[in-house]
Each structure stands twice: as structure tokens, then as C-alpha cells.
């Protein structure tokens, strides 16, 4: 019996935007057994398509009882890093993709007009999205909620991507993402405005032991990282993170978690600020979800106490805060920063990047909590199984075996799975992939 | 047999059609004698929005029970994230004391069991979705796939979502185990009753010891009207109760009044109310009674209302010494019988003592506030149900708006504070603008 059967719909959605056609084909069982899923499986699928194809894929544990099983991985040839990249997309996108009836989604070709995909019940619809062009991200989402079929999650590009800005970043809902590798540019080049995930179906997973996740939670509950939670607990481990934390002062903070994550690493902040471009207006109150640790640390280094409104402005345009930080002057005023962001969107200046080679493979946005081999192994494991990499980096005591036991508890299965996992992780870092 | 056959209609004329009562008779709520004195506390789930991180573990585990697969959309609990405000809400059935979904169901598929759990019988459910619309929290959730209606049944007393929440944002509780306000109030009422009715007979109307004197404020007003003179000692005697009202609202009505105690006891044995004619439902009536009492005293030259005052007659006529010696004895049962129409009917509509205290309460220092934001999305409205004078607007609570409590009518019994499982009802100084769950308004 295939141990992956209850973990996948065993379906790949293939969208040809040039021909405005979408079909759902069965997932190759052999390929799944060999690569398990996630980034490794995405790479294998990508080999079968043209170089400009995009693959969104889930891992076997995505949506399951495993903790932080929230991941969908986007794999593509990065226009910024000029190599294959795997970008993790979190919150609820992973489970919602699986519960929409497809495990992998291949997008090829270029749409004749701006389009958006709607996936649900194992069916894919290509809908026109011309009216969303150049619309700020929050407004575009509001518009989608009014006019499109119901959806649980949306991966969307902002007005910066519509203008072909290399500083752009894809946004999950209106919260931004860890995309620093140009996933958004690939989507924009295909005239793909976004992907809406209906998420109304389900999967049986390992229903014999739904309490398995709770048992694993007990193991990590004694860890100091389990108690120190929220965005700032991760931020302080980064270079300049402690200083950034001082500038992220807000009126109200609330820790938020991705799907089935017992230890939240995101924080929602509410703050009030005065827009210097409109002095007649009174202080306005805004709120945003902090999820991009590296982006925030980079931005705080430059803009210091002005970080929250500047970050909001980045999310509004769909810009990568880390890339924007590189262009901002140090010690400027709020007005100067806001004008600089407007200038980035209007002028599309050349983007430079100093992300190291390993971090580039996974999109450059996963925080370097651990270093060297340990970081690679943990992130590789997360990106294959479909578990949040930040969660696995924070809790190194969660072993490969503990995660694989969610797929099968039979000893012979576990041994095979362990071997397959090792070779799948190795395939991610193979010389061909790294080049 | 032959005779019976002749009285029956011919078969062709007989109506064999079944109506809803034949298919599904209404479930009658059983009440035991003990329920009148110590109502059963049914369990329910309390959601703590400040703890919830929106991970959706509750949806996951709930769906495995509903549809035997992990499908959050098919769960009976729904986590909603307000991305702008940064708040999470969990929508789940509160198993209301008087569920609105129940009468809304056209096929009577929804029942409230003796264990307090509101259940949907799938056999009778036609998936019309009217219960979803009737529920103020939209707790019955329509499965977008199968169109089935899913509603929390508390996992028959052992809710999985509570066990699986990593943040303990859901707690399964039977409410407050010991209601200390209730215990204190009943004790206070009992002691006041014993003292005023059994020991110091007649002292409510006027009491003097040494240089300290006490008088009923309504009686004092009538006295002034009937005699045409203002005696300073008499006025100062009436001040004690008025000062208490300024400091603590109409605390006397809820905690001391012996007739109020009698009414509360009568309410215990007459839990079902027959209703009060709408034309009599005016809280202004008591001010009319007060004006009539003062005017009548002025015209007739004696304290006219004191003759029929239930508090006065209770204190004067039912003591150990004066038992069964007066015609006044009939007044208390006669007015107490109003309790079968509505709780504290006398206090709501007629009591002139309450009217004087109500007017004084305009100068009160404290107020009761109920923060609907703290209990929003639950609509348990227990505060409105326990309020004996019916001044808490249940509809406003259902809309998620904080009701304004008219302190001139509130008898400060504090039942709302005692009952609220969310700590949303609080006592505040009148100048304080903070409402629980909302901050400053």
C-alpha cells in the first residue's frame, strides 16, 4: 500500500495560460515515492516543463496533524538570483491548496491578458483580472472578495509587480511573504495576477491517531523557544534584530500562528501615525501582520522608528522590504522614505542583492536562525515535507523520524521513508541544482 | 363497536395527513423541583480571543469528527481572522438557554436536550440554512461541499477542540462554580427580612434610637404633603436611604427590601410567566403612583399610600407579635401574585419607593456596564435573562453592541455580574468611560 495515499489528492493541476486551458492530471506515484514531495518533487516536475514554468507544490505533511504543516513551496527559475529557487509560502496557503483538490500546480505559458486562477474541488478556472491591475494589494483583495468565487487564501501580486519592478514580492493575502527571489516577477511576466484557493475539501491523513500532533507538542513544550514566542523571539536572533525590535513599538501586539502551528512566530501590531504628505489628516490607526523577519530587520536598520508605516507602504505596493531597504537613505525623515518608495515604484531602479548562495536556494527570506549545514538540513527537511521551516529551525529537537512517523508508524515504512528523505534532501543540494 | 363505527366519518372523508406534531412533537423541557431553587448549570465552551493565535487546530480536529477527514470547511467551529484589527474570532455554538435556531427550524430538526446541548437531527434536517440565519453568531455552519449543516454538539460532553487548542483559548466550563454575589445577596435579603419583619417590626416606616432616626423617603414625602410642614428631623431621617442610593444605586431594592425578598421567593416557585398586558408595561407608572400618593396625602390629610404599601404592611403585619391580626395581611399576597405575570412586576411598574430611589439614582456615583465586544460572537445573553427587572437589551447584545443600563431602573442585584462567564459585566464609576473589551468609548 502506498503510504502517501491519504496525504495527497494525487492530482497535479496544469495550467497553460497561453492557451487559456487548465487540466488536472494524476500525480505519478513513483515520483512521489522517490521525492516525497515539496521542493524536491517540484524540481522533478519542473524538469518536465519549459524553463519559464512555475510550480506550486505541497509536501506530504501539508495540512496534516503534523505541527506547522502550513507550507506550499513555489519553485521557479529566479530572475534575480539566476538559478532555481524554492520559495516557502505559509499562513494557510498549503492546506488550502490541498483542500482545493490539487497537490501541485504547474503554470506555464503567458496569458494574453491579466488573469487570476481559482482552484477548488479539484477544478481550476482561469478568470480575467484586468480590473485588479495597478490596484494596491488590500484593495485588490477586497475587490476579489466582492466579485470572485469564494476562496480561503490568495497568493497575489501587487502594483509594483504590475509595473515590472524588480523590488516586488508576492503577497499572501495582504500580509507579504518571504519571496525575495522574484517569484512575483515570474508571475507578472506570465500575466498571472494571483491564485485563489477555495479550500473546501479535505483529506483523511492518518485519522487513526489525530492526537499525534499533540504528543509532539508536549515534547517541545518544555523548550525555552516554546515559551518565547511571537515575531520578536525570532527577530532577536538575526543580525540587527535586537535593535529592530526596539523600533517596532506598537500600541497593541498579538501573536499569530500559521496553520496548526503551536508556537506562533508572527505578530500583529496596531499603531497610529501621521502621514506627512497629508498634514490635514489626523493620526490614522493601522494594523499589519509582521511575518518577514529578515525584511523587517533590514528595513529597521535604515528607517529605525519609522519602520511600521514604511513596512505598510511596502505591503501596499507589494514590495520586498529587504530590497527596498537597500535603496533607502539612512537617518531620513518619514516623508523622504515614503517619497523614496514612490520613486522605486515609478523609476524601477536596478536591484542589487547580497543574499548568500544557500539562502538563495530557498528564496532568501528564511531567517538564518541556525548556521551552515544544520540550517540547510532543517530547511531542506521542511521544504520537502511541507512543514514551516521557521518552526523546524526554532525546534531542532523535532527529528526527521518524528515527522515521518506522521506518514507511517510501521518500522519498515519508516526506514524506507528515511532513506527516501535523505536522498530527496541531497537532490536539493546536488551540484546541478545549485548551479 | 357498532356504535363507534357509526360515529366515525367515512374513510374517504377522514384526514390521514400527518402534520409536524405527528412527525416531531416539540421536546418539552422537563423541570424538577430542585431546578426552581438551584437551576442546573449546563456546560458550554468559552472562547478567549486574547489567547487565540488563529492556528485552526480546533477546525481540524472538529472536522475529523464531523466528516472523518481533515476538512476545516466542514467543521462545526470556524476561526475568523480580522487581518486589519489583528483579532481572531472563533464561531461556535453557545448552546443558548433560549436558542433562536430552534424555533427557526421549519422541520423541528433542532432540539435542546436535558443536558443543555442543542443538537441537529440529521434525519430531519433539510439543509435549508434558516438556523444559520437565525443564530446571531451564525454558529450552525453550512458545509460548502456537501451543503450539510454542521453544529457543535460539544462532542457529547467531551469537546475535542478544547483538548487540541495549543493556546488553551477554548475552555469547557459549567460557568462559575460558586456565585458569591448570589450567596451574599440572598443572605443579606434573608437577614433584612428577619430583622425588619420578625424582630424590629414596623421599623422600616420609621425607626428612632437615641438621636438617630430613620424614615421611609416615600412616607416622608407623603407626611410633608399631608401635614403641609417640613420637619427637618423627618427629612434628615429619610436621607439615609437616599445617601445609600447615591453611593450604590438602588441597592436597597435588590439587597434589603423585604417585599423584594418575598417577590424573589415567589419567582422561584412560579418560573413560568403568563406575561403582562402591554398597555400596563410602562415604567413611568410608578412615578404616577408616587405623584398620586403625594397628591392624595395632600388632599386627604393622611399618608394614603402607606395604608396599602406592601413593604410597610409586610413589616407591620407579619411580625411574631402581630401575626394574623390585621386586614393588611391580604395586601402582600395580592401584590406578590403579580409575580406570575412578570418578574418583579411591582418593582418595575408600581413601587413608589422605587420611584423615589430611581429619581435619587440620577445622582448615583456608580453604574453597571456590559461590554458586548468582550462577549461578542457568543450571544449567550445570560445577563439579559437573569435581570429581574428586564433592563438589559438582549437584541443589542446579539448585534454586538453594548447595551446602556438605565441605572434609575437597575436594582443593583448584580445578577448580571455574577452570571456573566466572560467577565463582561462590571461596576464602574459613572464618570468612567471604559467598557470591558472596548476600552474607552
Question: Which residue from B minimizes the CA distance to A269?
Answer: B86
B332 touches B318 (CB < 8 A): yes
Does residue A212 form part of some domain? no
**Domain check: are B165 and B192 in the same one?**
no
**Domain check: are A109 and A243 in the same one?**
no
State whether A202 and B67 contact (CB < 8 Å): yes
**Domain check: are B326 and B226 in the same one?**
yes
Kindly list the distances between the CA atom of residue B250 and the CA atoms of A128, A222, B241, in Å, as whole numbers in the listed order: 65, 52, 9
A230 touches A152 (CB < 8 A): no
CATH code for the domain in which residue B50 is found? 3.30.70.20
Pairing type for strands B170-173 and B44-47 reads antiparallel
Pairing type for strands A192-197 and A153-156 reads antiparallel
**pLDDT tens for each residue of B23-46:** 777 766 666 666 665 666 778 888
Does residue B269 form part of some domain? yes
In this structure, of B23-27, B148-152, B255-259, B264-268, the range with the lowest mean pLDDT score is: B23-27
Among positive and negative, which fits the CA dihedral A410, A411, A415, A416? negative
Does residue B20 form part of some domain? no
Alpha-helix residue ranges (DSSP H) falling in A351-410 = 357-361, 372-385, 389-394, 400-404
**Domain check: are B358 and B410 in the same one?**
no
Does residue A209 form part of some domain? no
Pairing type for strands A115-120 and A192-197 reads parallel
| Ranges of chain A whose pLDDT falls below 50 | none
Question: Which residue from B minimizes the CA distance to A172?
Answer: B83
Question: ipTM value of the model?
Answer: 0.88
**Domain check: are A168 and A237 in the same one?**
no
Q: List the one residue out of A202, A233, A192 whose CA is nearest residue A95.
A: A202
Number of compact structural domains in chain B: 3
**Domain check: are A263 and A299 in the same one?**
yes
Does residue A408 form part of some domain? yes
B87 sits in the region (left: phi over 0; alpha: psi -120 to 50; else beta) called: beta
**Domain check: are A182 and A281 in the same one?**
no
**Domain check: are B193 and B307 in the same one?**
yes
Residues of B in contact with A263 (CB under 8 A): 166
Confidence tier at B76 by pLDDT (50, 70, 90): very high
**Domain check: are A132 and A82 in the same one?**
yes
State whether B86 and A257 contact (CB < 8 Å): no
Parent domain of B420: 365-440
Does residue B5 form part of some domain? no
B87 touches chain A (CB under 8 A): yes
Does residue B306 form part of some domain? yes
**Domain check: are A85 and A14 in the same one?**
yes
CA neighbours within 13 Å on the CB side: how many for B97? 13
Kindly state the DSSP code that residue A370 receives in the 8-state scheme.
Answer: S
Q: Which of B334, B362, B390 represents a domain boundary (last residue)?
A: B362
Which residue has 487540541 as its cell numbers?
B164
Closest-CA distance of chain A to residue B183, Å:
38
Task: Give pLDDT, residue A70.
Answer: 92
Residue B225, C-beta contacts closer than 8 angstroms, at least 6 positions apart: B294, B295, B297, B298
Which range in A224-238, B51-65, B317-331 is most confidently predicted, on average pLDDT? B51-65
B197 touches B265 (CB < 8 A): no
Question: Which residue from B minimizes the CA distance to A64?
Answer: B70
State whether A200 and B67 contact (CB < 8 Å): no
In this structure, of B147-161, B169-183, B310-324, the range with the lowest mean pLDDT score is: B310-324
Does residue B1 form part of some domain? no
**Domain check: are B212 and B327 in the same one?**
yes
Give the best residue of B58, B166, B170, B373 to mutate against chain A (max A CB count within 10 A). Answer: B166
Give CA angle at A251 (A247, A257), nearest 5°. Answer: 85
Does residue B126 form part of some domain? yes
Q: Which residues, in sequence order, are bridge partners of residue A116?
A: A127, A194
Task: Give pLDDT, residue B116.
Answer: 83
B67 touches chain A (CB under 8 A): yes
Does residue B53 form part of some domain? yes
Number of cross-chain residue pairs from A and B with Cβ atoms under 8 Å apart: 92
C-alpha cell at B353: 419607593
Task: Give pLDDT, residue A244.
Answer: 83
Number of compact structural domains in chain A: 2
Q: List the one residue out of B208, B339, B353 whose CA is nearest residue B294.
A: B353
Gap between the Cα atoms of A241 and A235, Å rounded: 5
Burial grade of A273 (CB within 10 A; 0-12, 13-18, 19 or more) = middle
Does residue B30 form part of some domain? no
pLDDT exceeds cutoff 60 at B122: yes
When CB atoms are compared, the residue of A205, A261, A287 closest to B86 is A287
Gap between the Cα atoms of A70 and A388, Å rounded: 6
Q: List the one residue out of B413, B399, B279 whose CA is nearest residue B343.
A: B413
Does residue A211 form part of some domain? no
**Domain check: are A274 and A398 in the same one?**
no
Mean pLDDT, chain B, rounded, equals: 83
pLDDT exceeds cutoff 50 at B441: no
Task: Give pLDDT, residue B138.
Answer: 85
**Domain check: are B345 and B370 in the same one?**
no
**Domain check: are B184 and B134 in the same one?**
no
What average pLDDT does range B115-129 have in this prediction? 89
**Domain check: are B139 and B247 in the same one?**
no
**Domain check: are A9 and A151 in the same one?**
yes
**Domain check: are A274 and A389 in the same one?**
no
C-alpha cell at A283: 493620526
**Domain check: are B380 and B327 in the same one?**
no
Does residue A354 form part of some domain? no
Does residue A239 form part of some domain? yes
**Domain check: are A16 and A139 in the same one?**
yes
State whether A264 and B68 contact (CB < 8 Å): no
Does residue A216 form part of some domain? no
Parent domain of A254: 222-347
State whether B73 and A210 contact (CB < 8 Å): no
Gap between the Cα atoms of A282 and A293, Å rounded: 30
Confidence tier at B376 by pLDDT (50, 70, 90): low
Q: Which residues, in sequence order, are bridge partners of residue A128?
A: A115
CATH code for the domain in which residue A44 is found? 3.60.9.10
Cβ–Cβ contacts within 10 Å for residue A416, how many?
A: 15
Among positive and negative, which fits the CA dihedral A90, A93, A99, A102? negative
In this structure, of A23-27, A430-434, B152-156, B237-241, the range with the lowest mean pLDDT score is: A430-434
Q: Which of B157, B173, B189 represents a domain boundary (last residue)?
A: B173
**Domain check: are B138 and B168 in the same one?**
yes
**Domain check: are B316 and B399 in the same one?**
no
What average pLDDT does range B386-405 have in this prediction? 86
Task: Give pLDDT, residue A215.
Answer: 78
Does residue A213 form part of some domain? no
Task: Give pLDDT, residue B255.
Answer: 93
**Domain check: are A411 and A326 in the same one?**
no
**Domain check: are A175 and A237 in the same one?**
no
Gap between the Cα atoms of A134 and A124, Å rounded: 24
Q: Which of B135, B151, B173 represents a domain boundary (last residue)?
A: B173
Gap between the Cα atoms of A71 and A38, Å rounded: 9
Q: Which of A293, A324, A347 represents a domain boundary (last residue)?
A: A347
**Domain check: are B405 and B295 in the same one?**
no
B70 touches chain A (CB under 8 A): yes
Amino acid at each position: 500500500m502506498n503510504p502517501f495515499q491519504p496525504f495527497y489528492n494525487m492530482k497535479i493541476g496544469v495550467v497553460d495560460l497561453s492557451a487559456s486551458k487548465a487540466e488536472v492530471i494524476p500525480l505519478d506515484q513513483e515520483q512521489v515515492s522517490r521525492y516525497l514531495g515539496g521542493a524536491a518533487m517540484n524540481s522533478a516536475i519542473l524538469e518536465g516543463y519549459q524553463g519559464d514554468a512555475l510550480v506550486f507544490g505541497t509536501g506530504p505533511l501539508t495540512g496534516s496533524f503534523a505541527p506547522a504543516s502550513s507550507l506550499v513551496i513555489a519553485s521557479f527559475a529566479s530572475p534575480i538570483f539566476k538559478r532555481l529557487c524554492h520559495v516557502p509560502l505559509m499562513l494557510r496557503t498549503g492546506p488550502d491548496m490541498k483542500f482545493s483538490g490539487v497537490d501541485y500546480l504547474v503554470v506555464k505559458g503567458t496569458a494574453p491578458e491579466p488573469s487570476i486562477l481559482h482552484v477548488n474541488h479539484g477544478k481550476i478556472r482561469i478568470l480575467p483580472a484586468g480590473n485588479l491591475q495597478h490596484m494596491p494589494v488590500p484593495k485588490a483583495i477586497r475587490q476579489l472578495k466582492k466579485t470572485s468565487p469564494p476562496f480561503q487564501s490568495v497568493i497575489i501580486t501587487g502594483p509594483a509587480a504590475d509595473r515590472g519592478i524588480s523590488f516586488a514580492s508576492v503577497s499572501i493575502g495582504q500580509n507579504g511573504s518571504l519571496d525575495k527571489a522574484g517569484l512575483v516577477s515570474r508571475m507578472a511576466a506570465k500575466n498571472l495576477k494571483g491564485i485563489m484557493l477555495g479550500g473546501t475539501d479535505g483529506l483523511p491523513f492518518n485519522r487513526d491517531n489525530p492526537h499525534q500532533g499533540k504528543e509532539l507538542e508536549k515534547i517541545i513544550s518544555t523548550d525555552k523557544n516554546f515559551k518565547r514566542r511571537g515575531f520578536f523571539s525570532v527577530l532577536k536572533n538575526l543580525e540587527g534584530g535586537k535593535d529592530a525590535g526596539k523600533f517596532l513599538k506598537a500600541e497593541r501586539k498579538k501573536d499569530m500562528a500559521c496553520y496548526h502551528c503551536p508556537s506562533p512566530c508572527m505578530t500583529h501590531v496596531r499603531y497610529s501615525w501621521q502621514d506627512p504628505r497629508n498634514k490635514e489628516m489626523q493620526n490614522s490607526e493601522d494594523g499589519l501582520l509582521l511575518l518577514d523577519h529578515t525584511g523587517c530587520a533590514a528595513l529597521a536598520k535604515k528607517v529605525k522608528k519609522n519602520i511600521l508605516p514604511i513596512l505598510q507602504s511596502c505591503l501596499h505596493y507589494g514590495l520586498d522590504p529587504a530590497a527596498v531597504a537597500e535603496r533607502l537613505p539612512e537617518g531620513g525623515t518619514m516623508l523622504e522614505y515614503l517619497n523614496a518608495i514612490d520613486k522605486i515604484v515609478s523609476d524601477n531602479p536596478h536591484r542589487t542583492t547580497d543574499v548568500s548562495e544557500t539562502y538563495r536556494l530557498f528564496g532568501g527570506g528564511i531567517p538564518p536562525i541556525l548556521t551552515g549545514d544544520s540550517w540547510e538540513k532543517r530547511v531542506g527537511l521542511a521544504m520537502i515535507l511541507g512543514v514551516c521551516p521557521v518552526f523546524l529551525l526554532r525546534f531542532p529537537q523535532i527529528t526527521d523520524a518524528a515527522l515521518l512517523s506522521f506518514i507511517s508508524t510501521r518500522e519498515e515504512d519508516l526506514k524506507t521513508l528515511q532513506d527516501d528523505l535523505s536522498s530527496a534532501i541531497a537532490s536539493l543540494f546536488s551540484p546541478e541544482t545549485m548551479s | 363497536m357498532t356504535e363507534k363505527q357509526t360515529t366515525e366519518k367515512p374513510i374517504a372523508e377522514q384526514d390521514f395527513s400527518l402534520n409536524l406534531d405527528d412527525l416531531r412533537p416539540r421536546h418539552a423541557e422537563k423541570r424538577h423541583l430542585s431546578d426552581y431553587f438551584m437551576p442546573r448549570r449546563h456546560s458550554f465552551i468559552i472562547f478567549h480571543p486574547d489567547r487565540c493565535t488563529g492556528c485552526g487546530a480546533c477546525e481540524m480536529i472538529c472536522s475529523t469528527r464531523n466528516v472523518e477527514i481533515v476538512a476545516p470547511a466542514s467543521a462545526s467551529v470556524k476561526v475568523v481572522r480580522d487581518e486589519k484589527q489583528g483579532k481572531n474570532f472563533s464561531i461556535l455554538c453557545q448552546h443558548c438557554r433560549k436558542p433562536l435556531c430552534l424555533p427557526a427550524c421549519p422541520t423541528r430538526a433542532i432540539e435542546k436536550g436535558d443536558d443543555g446541548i442543542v443538537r441537529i437531527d440529521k434525519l430531519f434536517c433539510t439543509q435549508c440554512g434558516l438556523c444559520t440565519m437565525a443564530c446571531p453568531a451564525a454558529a450552525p455552519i453550512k458545509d460548502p461541499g456537501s451543503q450539510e449543516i454542521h453544529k457543535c454538539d460539544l462532542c457529547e460532553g467531551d469537546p475535542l477542540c478544547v483538548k487540541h487548542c495549543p493556546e488553551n483559548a477554548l475552555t469547557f466550563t459549567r460557568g462559575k462554580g460558586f456565585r458569591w454575589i448570589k450567596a451574599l445577596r440572598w443572605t443579606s435579603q434573608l437577614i433584612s427580612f428577619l430583622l425588619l419583619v420578625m424582630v424590629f417590626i414596623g421599623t422600616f416606616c420609621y425607626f428612632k434610637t437615641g438621636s438617630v432616626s430613620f424614615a421611609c423617603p416615600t412616607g416622608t414625602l407623603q407626611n410633608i404633603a399631608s401635614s403641609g410642614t417640613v420637619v427637618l428631623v423627618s427629612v434628615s431621617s429619610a436621607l439615609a436611604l437616599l445617601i445609600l442610593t447615591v453611593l450604590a444605586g438602588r441597592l436597597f431594592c435588590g439587597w434589603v427590601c423585604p417585599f423584594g425578598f418575598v417577590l424573589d421567593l415567589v419567582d422561584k416557585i412560579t418560573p413560568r410567566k403568563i406575561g403582562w398586558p402591554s398597555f400596563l408595561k410602562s415604567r413611568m407608572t410608578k412615578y404616577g403612583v408616587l405623584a398620586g400618593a403625594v397628591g392624595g396625602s395632600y388632599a386627604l390629610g393622611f399618608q394614603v399610600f402607606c395604608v396599602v404599601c406592601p413593604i410597610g404592611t409586610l413589616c407591620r403585619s407579619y411580625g411574631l407579635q402581630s401575626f394574623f391580626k390585621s386586614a393588611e395581611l391580604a395586601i402582600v399576597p395580592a401584590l406578590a401574585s403579580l409575580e406570575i405575570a412578570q418578574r418583579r412586576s411591582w418593582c418595575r411598574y408600581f413601587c413608589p419607593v422605587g420611584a423615589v430611589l430611581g429619581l435619587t439614582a440620577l445622582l448615583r456615583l456608580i453604574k453597571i456596564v456590559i461590554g458586548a465586544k468582550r462577549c461578542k460572537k457568543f450571544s449567550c445573553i445570560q445577563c439579559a435573562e437573569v435581570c429581574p427587572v428586564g433592563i438589559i437589551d438582549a437584541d443589542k447584545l446579539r448585534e454586538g453592541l453594548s447595551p446602556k443600563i438605565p441605572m434609575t431602573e437597575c436594582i443593583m442585584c448584580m445578577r448580571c455580574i455574577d452570571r456573566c462567564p466572560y467577565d463582561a459585566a462590571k461596576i464602574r464609576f459613572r464618570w468612567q468611560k471604559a467598557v470591558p473589551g472596548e476600552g474607552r468609548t
